[in-house]
Chains A and B, each alone.
Chain A
């Protein structure tokens, strides 16, 4: 197995910088997810690593092999990279049986027949598809096709596994099962993996580390907990889970926290929010708070950041209720298991749930 290094990778589509000078390293056996909305450059990055797309600048190195070096004009075609890529569409060749699909990469490597048969059996067993070798892809369900697609890349033991939204064509129930199965398989094989998705829950559940991408750049690269608890910017805060954004002005600073006079809160007391950032009094800031962290109704008397609120609307989401409340002239969302469905109430925005970003996000 090997370590993947991407350095200063840039890909232009005309004047658009689809991938804009990004760098990251995926450690040996690590599971890294490129997460972002469509058009953020995650799939372009994956295609560049696979060699399906030629980038404009930067370097891609796997172990001791340089796949791409923009400055030297070096480009290794995909077939010489020994990389496995699982497509969103699975890309199973419809004119070949499952076994033939797996056999094709082995034939290309001029492997003797006995060894090929053994490898195919092994790979099919790994994805629990042993009985399906003689079937054609069209006779398989989506979940089975996905497993075969994975087996087809694992069968030749690539040193790097690339997964391009492999679960997005499965229905919700199956997706969850496939997710934990995939996680288990990757931990067992310890293959260096780059996973691309736009689904944050997949990313949080599967990854050792997540690179959140936005506009061709990496917005934040960290482990799932850090990404969720301490998003680096408002984009990450909103993309991972969801957030309310409160614009305001820093009113005072002290003991590792700021007090922010929130826009629309009128004469209500400023919000206390801890921050490590160097801010000055009078600076414009945005405070991000996740809706599920805000409390409504039963609020202790000595609570900090407690405000009188009007319930505007309550929406039943099944396990939870989403309540739209108004404080002063500011409306925001609160998610609770149970809460008032109308009238006047009180909300608490816990200090530790507040994340302060400079500027008017």
Chain B
């Protein structure tokens, strides 16, 4: 029997190092220019820029900045409290009670997760803004100003209601997987429904509650659209709008100051993400997955059944259906007002504007192209990263996983500014500048962690024996990966592609900083219309975006059998 020997250069090691290097470059390129610029006295493309602490000193002594910090914390606090209480409440009502229509409510609750925050913000603005449809309707009936969303609290409530589905998503899984015997044990020990819920069910859900709380708090810090739409007119600045205004609304962009503020925000988010990881470490205390799967029984709501139903209907009706439906309604009329009959104002004009001008049409085409490209490239890269970091003898495998997960702590706005600076700093990025590829690269970087989360668990379920078996019969790591592992995780690859596609399709924050003539996306075009006060085309574009998203989700689920968010 001839002894087989390997080639002189080991292709396995070469591929592993290559994947690690690409990931490292992708993740660090947006961050390094920010770190660098934060300590420079002039814009980073000046050859005579000198190192300095001045930017941080200037930032901290600026009174506006202190107000921004307080505003941000207050806004994030309100948003987190609202989103978590509504989300956890929904998870328990839908997952654990005999609420009527819980199946449908559960489905609708996931809708906002597929839709851009920008679209949601416009939807809220059109329905609940100062001259919003529902606001005016209430005003005509009751003759009072029912709410003021141009305030920190108002923004916090809107953002909270918009983000509640995320808390719901994270908590529903743990709510329905609670081991029934643990609750039955409490019940037989004499605990009533309420006590079981409070003392057993909720504490067992604690990991997902903590996880989603921190996640929503981080999102509150990162969110741009709601503070921009509602805070802008009232002159209220939070962290994101502060950065946005310093980059776009000043005649001479204060590079150093922006970088220092970005640095500050990055440090804050990284701390929170690190905290999240630390808190998740003792999960075993809450692991309730026993040997046999028993479905927990539903808590009977009794006479509260219809009260809970009304609460759920109000939330889903006003915060989801009205917001999305309002946009569709607005897109088809010249003016949306409860005082005028809708059918008299019907028009195709808003859509005509978009379809008649190539610039606007191009933003739709670009969005689709970018999402597909980022979906394919991202899935390929993430698959390689997962294979190298969890199924290879690569010496830095653990570290590669950390690097791949790092973008979780990089807010979209920071990524946008970072790549903008990187383009200014590194010559080679220049040619990317006016193409969609700079956005593809930025998006791939941002969604590596999301893709990782879609692929890694499914690879972890493939027994190590299957690749070990392939190795012993004579396949090297790369051949094993291609012939054994990748075919076995094919469904996860489709899920990963769909997830990245949707995330890219709704993305706008990073694009705001990076788009140029020729690389507009739907989000940036919407913002332009909105800044000009053209709410009709904004609604039309938003409706197109939502329509395309739902079409994609439907096709992905039906044809590919993909599960997104589930």
Chain A residues close to B by CB (< 8 Å): 50-52, 65, 77-85, 87-95, 104-105, 108-109, 152-153, 156-159, 162
Contacts and interface: CB of A to CB of B under 8 A. Distances in A.
B284 interface: no
Contact of B5 (A80, A87, A157): A80
A153 B469 CA distance: 9
A105 B483 CA distance: 11
B473 A104 contact: yes
A159 B488 contact: no
Going nearest first, the 3 A-B pairs with the smallest beta carbon separation are A91-B469, A105-B473, A91-B465
B479 interface: yes
Contacts, number: 84
B471 A105 contact: no
Interface size of B as a range: 20 to 34
B463 A105 contact: no
A79 B12 CA distance: 12
Contact of A52 (B3, B463, B468): B468
B472 A84 contact: yes
B4 A52 contact: no
A156 B466 CA distance: 18
A237 B265 CA distance: 67
Contacts of B290: none
B463 A79 contact: no
Interface of B: 1, 3-6, 463, 465-466, 468-476, 479, 483-484, 487-488
Contacts of A156: 473-474
Contacts of A158: 1
Nearest to B488: A95
A79 B476 contact: yes
A90 B469 CA distance: 9
Contacts of A159: 1
Given A108-B473, A109-B474, A89 B465 contact: yes
A104 B479 CA distance: 11
Given A77-B476, A91-B468, A93-B466, 17 more contacts: A50-B468, A77-B6, A78-B468, A78-B472, A80-B3, A80-B5, A82-B4, A83-B472, A85-B469, A87-B469, A91-B465, A93-B488, A104-B475, A105-B475, A109-B474, A152-B469, A162-B472
A52 B471 contact: yes
Contacts of B472: 50-52, 78-79, 81, 83-85, 153, 162
Nearest to B6: A80
Nearest to A164: B465
Contacts of A83: 472
Contacts of B484: 93
Nearest to B5: A80
A221 to B, nearest CB: 25
A89, A90, A91, A95 — most chain B CB neighbours (10 Å)? A91
A82 B488 contact: no
A79 B475 contact: yes
9 contacts: A77-B471, A79-B6, A79-B472, A82-B4, A85-B472, A104-B470, A105-B474, A152-B469, A153-B473
Contacts of B473: 79, 84, 104-105, 108, 152-153, 156
Contacts of B6: 77, 79-80
Given A65-B3, A94-B488, A95-B487, A79 B474 contact: yes
A108 B479 contact: yes
Nearest to B466: A91
A69 B1 CA distance: 22
Contacts of A104: 470, 473, 475, 483
Contact of A82 (B463, B465, B474, B479): B474
Contacts of A162: 472
A152 B3 CA distance: 19
A91 B4 CA distance: 23
A84 B471 CA distance: 10
A87 B471 contact: no
B483 to A, nearest CB: 7
Contacts of A94: 466, 488
A178 to B, nearest CB: 19
A141 to B, nearest CB: 19
B464 to A, nearest CB: 9
A108 B470 CA distance: 10
Contacts of A92: 469
A105 B470 CA distance: 8
Contacts of A82: 1, 3-4, 474
Nearest to B484: A93
B465 A87 contact: yes
B458 to A, nearest CB: 14
Contact of B468 (A80, A87, A109, A153): A87
